[in-house]
Amino acid sequence: MDLITDSIVVGLTEHAPLILAAMGFALIYRLTGLINVAYSETITLGAYLGMWINTTFDLDFYTILIPTGILAGVLSVATYFAVFRPAKRRNVGGLEMIIISFGLSIFLRHGLQFVFGYPVRFFNVPPPDTIFVLGVGVSSFRLLAVASVFILALGLFWFIQKTSYGLQTRALASDEDLAQVSGIRPLAVTVLIWFLAGVAGGLAGAFYGVGSAAAPLLGWRQFLFILLVVLVGGAKNIGGVIIAGAVTAITLAAMTLQFGQVLYAQLVLIVVFVIILKVRHTRAVAAGGV
Amino acid sequence: MNLAWLDAFLVYGLFFVVMIVGLALLLHLQLGLARIANFGAVGFWGLGMYAFGVLFIQVDWPFSEVWAFLISMAFGTLVAGVAGLAIGWVIADLDTDGVMVATLGFATCVWIVATTEQDLTGGALGLGGLGFPYDIGSVKANETLWLVILIAVVALILFYVSRVHKAPYGRMLISIGDNEHLARSLGKQSFRRKMWLFAGSSAAMGLLGAIFGVMERFLDTGNLGISITLAAIVALVVGGTTRVWGAVVGAAATIAVFEILIQSYIPFPQAWYGQAIPVLRQMAFGAALILVLMFRPHGILGQMRRDKLMRRTHGG
């Protein structure tokens, strides 16, 4: 029983940034169908920006989250205008688009080292308060990450299901040409989605960064799991992504607590998720869906 | 043999460039012709290196070192090939997203096993004890001969790839890459063809990994990062993903510039070589991928000759 409780509390609080980042990634994936490898650098950037604002302006961790999220969102939009929009206008193919995003990821990852320096950088924050949840001690930063997931999830649900921009987003994701004929302004919706995705990625990065350090590979180390969570959860449905993310988080924590080795837990999850993708695809083919 | 004229950096730089040419040629078969988005090439390369190294070092061989070396190298190649067959089965009918996840996931699994199984692999500390299966005098002479052997292996791969382009098998791979549904409706067994192509090219990647391990004389998990895959993709994309010589031209225009020209012949301040130049190299590679795919998507060499011929004949 202890293992289950511990796994749920530790998993959800420790891996809340993963769910947050997966939600942001899913937004772009749903809208454009693009596997944006450079999204991992939005996460890294969030960690670096948070650290920079924290150490330069001597602001506490809670205060830096707002400017960090906004700046990460703006930079996410900037990558759209600088790279992905021109590439789309040139009719670059789907596979080539992924390779372009891979190139952008590498460029940004190493460019950040020129801006912020080569050594890993640390936040300057006092030790967080410890709050006991179901008998398990959790830092206030981690609880804030969980709260951010809830707020963003509710906000996204409301945005996509209840607002006219959400309706436009769904229409654009289904059929861009038809959406344009219907009078939808694709640019405004697209910019909004890239911004929101950037905010989610940036906040995830800040939460990761304050728990460890701002380092060049921070986002890339999470990318495979973000991708797995989104593909297994189903990008059409943010709820599915949250559930897949939560299951991933709890399973990682349970296996780590049981075997004392997080890497084995990751290995098992990678294998299981790839098998799920394969089985799901095989069933879809058998059912005539592909 | 007097090799005083030969710079040790040049030998290692050339070795690295030729190895990337080999990897990019194999990636050309997968990604350039059959459009299999293998982002985990380093996994098969690393698996070959570790399977070879672990068997060679950890087993108390009852016969001569040369035989142990050759058997271990064959084992490394075989293990990478079997892994390629398994992953090939998984990805042969998946879309690009699924292929990317499975290949990236495989590379991550190889890194995890190499890191955690310390008794076998040495873990993050690495494992020494590898060496050349001969001794012809100095270290430089041994390394130069190993470079020549690598060049011979890569020349064989190049020859095979050029034969594939001229053979019906190559045309079938291109048709599967261009429109798999159409190829299947014409009776082509795309699943099986892709799976065996992936297995064969993965085995060759494993062989290249084993050869690299010998040159390094050390198994290091640091080599299992994204850099090797990146270098191979950059060489292929810059040279031209669909052209036989694309990998060679691309590697000469990118990898060789940093690994040979800048490392050995351009006198940058010494301090730059530690961090600034490796970081700049990766930035340049990333920028090259973006710029080439946006402004010259078929790379330096352009489209396949057959595509040009078809355009001239049929218009469009």
Q: Helix A16-32 vs helix A238-259: angle between axes, to the nearest 10 degrees?
A: 150
Per the structure block, which two tokens stand in for B313? 């004949």
Whether B2 is covered by a domain: the verdict is no
- Answer with the residue of higher pLDDT: B2 or A243: A243
Q: Which CATH number fits domain A2-286: 3.30.2000, 1.10.3470, 1.10.10, 1.20.120?
A: 1.10.3470
pLDDT for B309 beyond 80:
no
Query: Residue holding tokens 């694709």?
Result: A186
Are the CB atoms for B243 and B304 separated by under 8 Å? Answer: yes
Whether residue B279 lies within 8 A of chain A, CB to CB, comes out as yes
- Report the pLDDT value the prediction gives residue A290, as an integer from 0 to 100: 54
Nearest CA in chain A to B90: A278
The ranges assigned to domains in chain A are: 2-286
Residue A159 has which token pair? 């945005």
Q: With an 8 Å Cβ cutoff, is A81 touching chain B?
A: no
Which DSSP helix (H) or strand (E) runs through B248?
helix B246-253
Task: In whole angstroms, give the CA distance from residue A142 to residue A155.
Answer: 20
Evaluate whether residue B160 is within a structural domain.
yes
| Alpha-carbon gap: B171 to the closest alpha carbon of chain A (Å) | 20
CA distance B294 to chain A (A): 6
Please tell me which of the candidates A93, A114, A278 has its beta carbon nearest to residue B90: A278
One DSSP character per residue, A65-111 reads HHHHHHHHHHHHHHHIIIIIHHHHHTT--HHHHHHHHHHHHHHHHHH
Phi/psi of residue A223, each to 5°? -60, -45
Do residues A59 and A53 touch, judged by C-beta distance below 8 A? yes
Decide if B101 and A102 are in contact by the 8 Å CB cutoff: no
What's the confidence (pLDDT) of residue B313? 56
**pLDDT given for residue B194 in this prediction:** 95
Residues 6+ apart with CB under 8 A from B85: B195, B196, B198, B199, B202
Q: In sequence order, what are the residues at sequence separation of 6 or more whose Cβ sits closer than 8 angstroms to the Cβ of residue B88?
A: B194, B195, B196, B197, B198, B199, B202
B9-42: buried (b, 16+ CB within 10 Å) or exposed (e) per residue? ebbbbbbbbbbbbbbbbbbbbbbbbbbbbbbbbb
Parent domain of B272: 8-314
Q: What is chain A's length?
A: 290
Would B187 be classed as within a structural domain? yes
Interface test with B, best of A90, A95, A115, A224 (most B CBs within 10 A): A95
* Local confidence band at B316 (pLDDT 50, 70, 90 cut-offs): very low
Mutate to test the interface with B, among A110, A113, A115 (most CBs of B within 10 A): A110
Is A266 at the interface with chain B, CB within 8 A? yes
Give ipTM to 2 decimals: 0.91
Smallest CA–CA separation between A130 and chain B, in Å?
32
Question: Is residue A281 within 8 Å of B98, Cβ to Cβ?
Answer: yes
Mean pLDDT of chain B: 91
Residue B3: pLDDT over 80: no
Whether residue B177 contacts residue B188, with contact meaning beta carbons closer than 8 Å, is answered with no
CA distance A132 to B233: 49
Strand bridging mode B127-128 / B218-219: antiparallel
- Pick the more confident residue, B184 or A246: A246
pLDDT at B47 over 90: yes
- What residues of chain B, 90 to 129, have a C-beta less than 8 Å from chain A? 90, 93-94, 96-98, 100-102, 104-105, 108-109, 112-113, 115-116
Q: What angle do CA A148, A151, A153 make, to 5 degrees?
A: 100
- Number of structural domains chain B divides into: 1
Kindly give, in sequence order, each residue whose CB lies less than 8 Å from that of residue B250, ignoring residues fewer than 6 positions away.
B24, B234, B235, B236, B237, B238, B239, B240, B299, B300
pLDDT exceeds cutoff 80 at B314: no
In chain B, the residue whose alpha carbon lies closest to the alpha carbon of A108 is B283
Of A99, A267, A273, nearest to B293 by CB-CB distance is A99
Helix (H) / strand (E) containing B219: strand B218-219
Mean pLDDT for each consecutive 10-residue tract of chain A (290 residues)? 86 91 92 92 96 94 93 97 95 93 96 89 88 86 86 82 80 76 81 93 94 92 94 82 93 90 91 93 77
| Model confidence pLDDT, tens digit, residues B97-143 | 999 999 999 999 999 999 999 999 999 899 988 999 999 988 899 99
CATH of the domain at B247: 1.10.3470
Amino acid (1-letter code) at residue A219 = G
Biggest CA-to-CA distance, chain B: 66
Residue B304 lies in a domain: yes
Separation of alpha carbons B61 and B153, rounded Å: 26
